[in-house]
Structure 1
């Protein structure tokens, strides 16, 4: 068994043993305080809930420029106590994404997503996702089992976001294959190399065509609303900004939501009493999902760089310091949560977790993610009397064998083989 000293010395960005249990790794860091220097890298790790929220809300002193690649080389020399102008002047990568924007630029880009999340639109989309989920679930339950992540979760969330955006049916499978063939975000196997964005570059060509077509000939769909949208100041966005907003939502949303479905179903498989409790009272699905998000959310970390000399708590932080905000560790901080490693249905103030971030960069797709996962869980519970892990693939209780996608950003099972007893 690894000692605390050997655990803390592991490289979070490349060590696959951290994949299986990142919580043990973060707890070994927490023992040294809520903000701690990572071993072997010039990076601070935040495990404290209050400190994580403090940094996530501090848009002035901490920039999102590093996302989604916290190890990217700075294109300038560090000097002085304020590098905010240098960060503003330099793109963070070959294709700069909304997740790395700051300030007014970020607010403007976020405004392009507003048409997606009006209540009437989400309600209409929920009707679609419920019917689609029902068909998928009935098919795999009739078969007696499935590999959940790739056979159900990923195609389901891909179809939902494609339907919401108005991606043509013929292109949806192409996008799924592109995303599947590319490396995961935060690829641990190439952490110190520039992160590949090849799938996004290919998808950008498709989305540019969609947006161009809708600007030329508007249709009655969300993509048209995005194509015709104005920024809050009344100006017209550059077409590439609209393309990147739509494409990023599609790519990022389908990955994290699919992994959340896998994490939630595994939890239900491992706790048959809770599974039956939810089957008998579906109103508990919402509180159940919030506790899954706290305890096993699909985003482990987000990243910041100090734009100027500042502080976190009583620790001085120099301009240019890289920061890993461990969302999963903040959500298990014993100073904030009683018995944080315990799964508690109906935990008080549960929605204060930071699984979707906090502040300006709170996940834009959080309402959709919650709806997607709740709908498909409801359908699984409706059509089964029991859902269990397939022990031929995952081993018996107490000796489970599971594998995770090799990512330092995403917490998601590579596969989950389940068996169903029909209702």
Structure 2
């Protein structure tokens, strides 16, 4: 790779895009900055993948939802050991979710799922989301210290998505363990024995989801109505002369929804709180004016998105920017690179709450595969910040905090922990009761 300019050190794409390196895990944005203007579609020789970081090139890829398919974006990017792969061949691991296919099949399924995230549905959910957030913040208030990620940012969206889907409370801890193992198989290099054990766990996970769906059988009344949770709706979608999906497709979709419904929002909340607490004046401003919570959510999606990128595969030769991608090319679409583009944002490497205009980040993707759960994620994150700021206006990072990030490869940017502290006098004297209606930030994307 030629030098980037006079006096700069030589670097290669493989060196700067090393998803297991501490440097990349800590700050992938430095890597994006190196390639965005010079080689916005860069070939990674080690993975034989194309890394896309230029905004126009990103949008071009995302518009090509048929020629650059997302069918394989849950296959992961780490090598699978032979024994683990043999087990996974007996599962639905390699079957694409209907969220990730193209054409009428995708459109019909997306329309069905969207019914669970309409503005009306979110208004109905908001009181319960606020109640869950208040309970969790109240638990924090009593202790004086804690891991905000484990004690608040994780249980809030996981409880909500568990209720939306209809996962019994008693099963949620086990489902979370299965979910973590499924994600690890995609992004974490593991020894063969551990990979194989996780693959065998996936068999149990899919058996559970199959049983969960089949438990909805017999709920339909003579008028055709049944349970209102997503599992009930998915089961009904497998019935009739022209079913929307097969039972296997429902299982794959449900597994995807469980992960997408909490992992990304958990990390969005944690990343937002981290950036706000990193400069105490930011948190103080939020504590004094909860209306800035929506701006903080959007700025986090721009500045430190929990979702970094996704995989596309070229179904045929396609030209992106100045590069001809052969059929079969694997393409990493780095959504997060667009958020720090200096051509789009003033002071792109600064976290600011005073940015004006509509969001221009790609934190929820773009086009046909724009995240269908984006309105819920925005709502949960906004409520989380409002509730925390009301309950713990004196919240601060723990004195010894040094950010460490989970191995997420090219997919996630997620803190391993977020230790925080406050003194009893810092906590609000009464319960946290911010009560704003669902606004544009919660519903405009449906």
- Mapping 1:4-403, distance limit 5 Å: 5-6=10-11, 8-10=13-15, 11-69=17-75, 71=77, 93-180=93-180, 184=184, 186-190=186-190, 200-218=202-220, 219-222=226-229, 223-229=231-237, 235-392=243-400, 394=401, 401-403=402-404
1:329-360 C-alpha deviation (Å, 9 max, x unpaired): 12212222222112222323342210111111
5+ unaligned residues in a row in structure 1: which ranges? Answer: 74-90, 395-400
Note the alpha carbon deviations across 1:65-122, whole angstroms, 9 max, x for none: 330235489xxxxxxxxxxxxxxxxx99534334542333333432342332122322
1:4-50 deviations in whole A, cap 9, x for unaligned?
53474425333343101111122222252322222433221111112
Q: CA deviation at 1:225?
A: 2.7
CA 1:30/1:119 → structure 2, altered by over 3 Å: closer, same or farther?
A: closer
Q: Which shifted more, 230-239 or 253-262?
A: 230-239
Residue 414 (structure 1) shift: 0.7
Displacement of 1:161 in angstroms is 0.4
Structure 2 regions of 5+ residues with no counterpart? Answer: 1-7, 80-90, 221-225, 429-446
Distance 2:361 2:191 in 1: 28
Instruction: Report the CA distance between 1:234 and its aligned residue.
Output: 5.1
Residue aligned with 1:36, SS: strand
> TM-score, normalized by length of structure 2?
0.81
How large is the RMSD of aligned CA atoms in angstroms? 2.9
Q: Distance in 1 between matches of 2:139 and 2:117?
A: 30
Secondary structure, aligned partner of 2:395: strand
Q: 1:231 to 1:340 in 2, by over 3 A?
A: farther
Cα distance change, pair 55–183 in 1 and its aligned pair in 2 (3 A): closer
Aligned counterparts of 1:260 and 1:185: Cα–Cα separation in 2: 22
Q: 1:317 to 1:233 in 2, by over 3 A?
A: farther
- The alpha carbon displacement at 1:163 in A equals 1.0
Q: How many residue pairs were aligned?
A: 398
Distance 1:191-1:28 versus aligned 2 partners, 3 A rule = farther
- Name the stretch that deviates more: 186-195 or 139-148: 186-195
1:133–1:156 CA contact under 8 A, matched in 2? yes
Q: Match for residue 87 of structure 1?
A: none
- Higher mean C-alpha deviation, range 180-189 or range 48-57: 180-189
Q: What SS does structure 2 have at the residue aligned with 1:386?
A: coil
TM-score (norm 1): 0.85
